[in-house]
Amino acid sequence: MRLPDRNHMAIAAVVRYPLRSSMLLVAIAIGVAAVLVLTSLGEGARLYVTSQFNSMGTHLLFVTPGKNEVGGLGGMAGSLGGSPRPFTLGDVRSLKRSPYISSTTPMVMGTANINYQGLERDIGVLGTTHTMKRLFEYEVKSGRFLPELDLDNASPVCVIGDTIARELFGTAEPVGKWVRIGDRRVRVIGWLEQGGQSGGRDLDEAVFVPIAFAMQVYNRESVQRMMVEATSDESLVKAKRDVIGIIKARHFGHEDITVMDQGTILSTFNKIFLVLTSTLAGIAAISLAVAGTLIMNVMLVAVSQRTAEIGLLKALGARRSQIIGLFLTEATLLSSLGAVVGVLVGYASIELLRQLVPLVDFQAPDWAVISAVLMAIASGLLFGIMPARHAADLDPVEALAGR
Amino acid sequence: MIRFENICRDFKVGDETVHALKDVNQHIEAGEYASIMGPSGSGKSTLLNVLGLLDTPNSGHYWLNGRDVSKLPDDDLAATRHEIIGFVFQSFHLIQRMTALENVELPMVLAGIAPAERQDRARQMLCKTGLESRMSHRPDQLSGGQRQRVAIARSIVMEPKVLLADEPTGNLDSQSGKEVLDILEELHADGLTLILVTHDPVIGQRSHLHLRMTDGIIKAERQHLQRQPEDNGDAPS
Ligand SMILES: Nc1ncnc2c1ncn2[C@@H]1O[C@H](COP(=O)(O)OP(=O)(O)OP(=O)(O)O)[C@@H](O)[C@H]1O
Ligand SMILES: [Mg+2]
């Protein structure tokens, strides 16, 4: 039997039962589209985080207390591995000694209540220094960002995000006003331009205060983490070595810090998102397996609908392999068509997502598209085998009688 | 050409065994025109199915063209069927969605013959069975007799040696039945071995080898009559 003839017969069968065929098509298409859409969510999130990190300037080191063997995102290690020595402002200051370090930005984060003339809300407080502005390229709408102060100068000033400004002051100008943060009076000196998120924190809902002020509010002696800016990309490695060396000396020979550069963080993020995306793909693939069992069902029905025809083919001398080939072609044709429709629907849905959330670059990774299509076709073959063999095993006399 | 040696075919129905063919011994030569007659349930169709390799005997030997085909594997049976045997069924077994021409092409599609040659040969066969003006009609646009003639064209398109027909005129009125029989006899005259099951004693009379079945057993008798003239007056023309 020639290949075009076999394909032609399979197409004829697919066209002859439009309801059956389109139902199967839809089932497979949903599976394939689900893989595309779900993986595009994971991939979109990954690309988003990556681009956020890349917008932070290029030669940054992230320093957290505690030795993190896994090279993960830090922070956690402190609570897991005994009690690492915290960073003091003295530690921060000491890093200035290195010629490869151009700035050191300490951070203390927490939440607090902000109050202006009876209006109040909960906010994220970020204690830091003036260098933060340069690292994240914040735009100031009015007033100014935190001024350059001594590290231990707990000047009661703050810079507020756009959402907070609107909620507390409405259309009035916030700069120059006094607000309450916790039980302290603080003067607003700056109002940040509305704009996205950085480092996972919603900028519009944040209030920036001097590091020493935040340490007083939260009653702590140490900073949570530091961002160290190297003088150049080339000096990044040396800066890292210096950070470790200087802190180790100050911590009596204990190397109890974790220093990560953006590359490490990015690759960690990439790993996490790859796991996330594959998990989503796996979940979506289950729907393909379900579609596969549907293929089996539909093909079994197809065989019983065409029993007499199969009997005739056998009487005319069709070999087993020819009958198997005929039904497998049909199943594969249906699953391939379903895969094509699924890819189209998937891409259309992703385009819709992009329209809805323009901030995130949703896109299904190529590996997900290819494996979804291959899986759909493979499930057509795999789940088509049983019904095809069933057809080939029919007794010709019984089949001719339609039994 | 065909030799049956102690062929038995049993069917199990529940705990009972039906002996459809009981120890059948029969010889049919190439070019023979044989009819199988007998009461309903006597085993005629079973015999024809075994002859056509659609069914395999439980015991005994079946020699076809000098080869024992009673124990062949499935695919060899299919290949032998494809080469040597043509079938004509009482209910035609045409594929409804295909035209007459496509139905006749079907065995050649299975054989992997290219479309041009296929159509050529199918047209010839349809001309031979008098359907030159009905080639692109589908079965539901044809009369019963025309359908059976399409089926005959299909059965001979692979140039088989043996044509097996199970009550080929059973679903036809006497006029179209006669036309179909004429075609079958013509094919026989051209050298085809023709074996048909029939309830019609007139047809039975016209065959040369007369096989009478009762209860799974064959009684053979050879007719020494010459073939009757074409118009014997029992059907208006
Ligand atoms: N698949 C089967 N299962 C069980 N019994 C069967 C089967 N096929 C045939 N038989 C039995 O075998 C016997 C012979 O059947 P067969 O069909 O050969 O009869 P027949 O001579 O062709 O009858 P008819 O003239 O009615 O067509 C019958 O008793 C029938 O019931
Ligand atoms: Mg019968």
pLDDT digits (tens, 9 = 90+) for A233-267: 788 888 989 998 998 888 888 888 888 887 777 78
Distance CA A134, CA A104 (A): 12
Query: Which tokens go with A167?
Result: 């909620």
Q: Which of B110, B117, B118, B156 to mutate to test the interface with A (most CBs of A within 10 A)?
A: B110
**Three-class SS state of A245:** helix
Whether the CA torsion B46, B50, B55, B57 is positive or negative: it is: positive
Coarse DSSP helix, strand, coil percentages of chain B, rounded to the nearest 5 percent: 35, 25, 40
Distance CA B47, CA B53 (A): 10
Q: What are the Cα distances from residue B212, in Å, to B20, B26, B44, B219? A: 14, 12, 9, 5
Q: Which of A5, A310, A316 to mutate to test the interface with B (most CBs of B within 10 A)?
A: A316
Distance CA A261, CA A247 (A): 17
- According to DSSP, residue A55 is labeled T
Map A337-374 to HEC letters: HHHHHHHHHHHHHHHHHHHHCCCCCCCCCHHHHHHHHH
Q: A136 pLDDT band (50/70/90 cuts)?
A: confident
For chain A, what is the mean pLDDT? 87
Q: A114 pLDDT band (50/70/90 cuts)?
A: very high
Q: Tell me what ipTM this predicted complex has.
A: 0.90
pLDDT value at residue B230 = 46
Burial (Cβ within 10 Å: 0-12, 13-18, ≥19) of residue A4: exposed
Domain spanning B2-222, CATH architecture = 3-Layer(aba) Sandwich (3.40)
Q: Locate the ligand 1 atom nearest the alpha carbon of residue B48 and give its number.
A: 18
Q: A214 pLDDT band (50/70/90 cuts)?
A: very high
Distance CA B48, CA B37 (A): 11
pLDDT digits (tens, 9 = 90+) for B145-203: 999 999 999 999 999 999 999 999 999 999 999 999 999 999 999 999 999 999 988 88
pLDDT value at residue A56 = 65
The residues, ordered by sequence, that sit 6+ positions from A34 with a Cβ below 8 Å of its Cβ are A284, A287, A346
Which residue's alpha carbon is nearest to atom 31 within ligand 1?
B41
Which residue's alpha carbon is nearest to atom 19 within ligand 1?
B41
Q: A69 pLDDT band (50/70/90 cuts)?
A: low
Q: Residues near ligand 1 with C-beta < 6 Å?
A: B 11, 13, 18, 20, 38, 40-46
The residues, ordered by sequence, that sit 6+ positions from A193 with a Cβ below 8 Å of its Cβ are A138, A139, A140, A141, A162
pLDDT value at residue A59 = 81
Question: Average pLDDT of B65-76?
Answer: 90
pLDDT digits (tens, 9 = 90+) for A269-287: 888 888 888 888 888 888 8
The answer to whether the Cβ–Cβ distance between A313 and B110 falls below 8 Å is yes
Query: Which tokens go with B83?
Result: 């080469």
Which residues of chain A lie closer than 8 angstroms to B49, CB-CB?
397
Using the mean position of ligand 2's atoms as its centre, give its distance from the Cα of residue B40 in Å: 7
The residues, ordered by sequence, that sit 6+ positions from A347 with a Cβ below 8 Å of its Cβ are A36, A364
Distance CA A397, CA A382 (A): 28
pLDDT digits (tens, 9 = 90+) for B36-67: 999 999 999 999 999 999 999 999 999 998 89
Q: A348 pLDDT band (50/70/90 cuts)?
A: very high
Using the mean position of ligand 1's atoms as its centre, give its distance from the Cα of residue A269 in Å: 74
Question: Which is it for strands B209-214 and B33-37: parallel, antiparallel or unpaired?
Answer: parallel
Burial (Cβ within 10 Å: 0-12, 13-18, ≥19) of residue A319: buried
Distance CA A36, CA A38 (A): 6
The residues that bridge with B221 in the sheet, in sequence order, are: B210
Place of tokens 């000047």: A155
pLDDT value at residue A196 = 53
> For residue B86, what is the nearest residue in chain A, using CA coordinates?
A316
Q: Locate the ligand 1 atom nearest the alpha carbon of residue B199 and give its number.
A: 25
Question: Residue ranges of the domains in chain B?
Answer: 2-222
Q: A68 pLDDT band (50/70/90 cuts)?
A: low
Give the residue among A333, A359, A385 at the shortest CA–CA distance from A9: A333
A-B contacts (CB, under 8 Å): 64
The total number of residues shown for chain B amounts to: 237
Core vs surface per residue A71-89: b (16+ CB within 10 A) or e: ebbbeebbeeeeebbbbbb
Gap from A22 CA to chain B (nearest CA, Å): 20
| Percent of chain A at pLDDT exceeding 90 | 42
Q: pLDDT at residue B234 above 60?
A: no
Which residues of chain A lie closer than 8 angstroms to B54, CB-CB?
314-315, 396-397, 400
Q: Which segment of A121-125, A199-203, B60-64 scores lowest on mean pLDDT? A: A199-203
| Percent of chain A at pLDDT exceeding 70 | 93
A75-79 own/partner pairs: CB under 8 Å, 24+ apart: A75/A224, A75/A225, A77/A258
- Nearest-5° angle of CA B32, CA B35, CA B36? 130
Query: Which tokens go with A264?
Result: 């490490």
* Facing B95 at nearest CB: one of A309, A315, A319: A309
pLDDT digits (tens, 9 = 90+) for B98-148: 999 999 999 999 999 999 999 999 999 999 999 999 999 999 999 999 999
Question: Average pLDDT of A6-31?
Answer: 89
Distance CA B87, CA A315 (A): 7
Are A336 and A376 contacting, i.e. CB atoms less than 8 angstroms apart?
A: yes
Which segment, A10-19, A58-67, A305-314, is predicted with the most confidence on average?
Answer: A305-314
Question: Average pLDDT of B203-207?
Answer: 87
Distance CA A172, CA A116 (A): 12
Core vs surface per residue A146-167: b (16+ CB within 10 A) or e: beebebeebbbbbbbbbbbbbb
Instruction: Give yes or no for B89 touching A (CB within 8 A).
Output: yes
Are A384 and A69 contacting, i.e. CB atoms less than 8 angstroms apart?
A: no
Q: pLDDT at residue B225 above 60?
A: no
Question: Which is it for strands B59-64 and B2-13: parallel, antiparallel or unpaired?
Answer: antiparallel
Q: pLDDT at residue A53 above 90?
A: no
Give the residue among B218, B204, B206 at the shortest CA–CA distance from B167: B204
Give the residue among A317, A340, A330 at the shortest CA–CA distance from A385: A330
Gap from A313 CA to chain B (nearest CA, Å): 8
Using the mean position of ligand 1's atoms as its centre, give its distance from the Cα of residue B43 in Å: 6
pLDDT value at residue A283 = 86
